[in-house]
Amino acid sequence: MPLARLVVIEGPDLGVEFEIPLRGGGIGRGEGNVVQLSDLSVSRQHCTLEVRDGALCLVDEGSRNKSLVNGQPVTVHPLRDGDEILVGKSRLAFLPADGGVVVARQHTPGRVTMEVGSRELMSLALGGPDERARRQLAAIAGLGDR
């Protein structure tokens, strides 16, 4: 069972979902990364995903093109449900293995299928304070307008 998932919500690999194994791994264009992107603005080895103190962390130890989490440059950042990672021109949503929003691969050009976890759906329906879920759903819903 994967530790978590990263879903590309913006960029050349739109809709692609990556399962993150328990050991973590690299994010970049190069072969051997657990998240291999085709985005030419992403370094071959852009950053890594590592388990530190029981949390999956994004680690960027000096990439030329910085890694951002929720719009902020990071060196080490423990990831939480709904965090958005920006590497190059690719934006990825972080989702723990036990839930969240899933964007399926594009089966038909111009159409993206999405599934919404019950927690996020209820938060939106009840007008709850889950701003991260609202942002994530808005970003994914915007994909349908392209």
- CATH number of the domain located at residue range(s) 4-143 in this protein: 2.60.200.20
Specify the 3-state DSSP secondary structure of 121: helix
pLDDT tens digits along 62-99: 878 899 999 999 999 999 988 999 999 999 999 887 65
Q: Does the pLDDT at position 105 exceed 50?
A: no
Q: What angle do CA 49, 124, 16 make, to 5 degrees?
A: 35
144 pLDDT band, cuts 50/70/90, is low
> What is the rounded average pLDDT of the residues 95-104?
59
**What tokens were used for 110?**
């111009």
Rounded Cα–Cα distance for residues 141 and 133 (Å)? 12
**Cα–Cα nearest to 37, from 57, 56, 11:** 11
104 pLDDT band, cuts 50/70/90, is very low
- Residue 137's pLDDT is 66
pLDDT tens digits along 14-51: 999 999 998 899 999 999 999 999 999 999 999 999 99
Specify the 3-state DSSP secondary structure of 29: coil
With a CB cutoff of 8 Å and minimum separation 6, the contacts of 144 are 111, 112
- Residue 102's pLDDT is 44
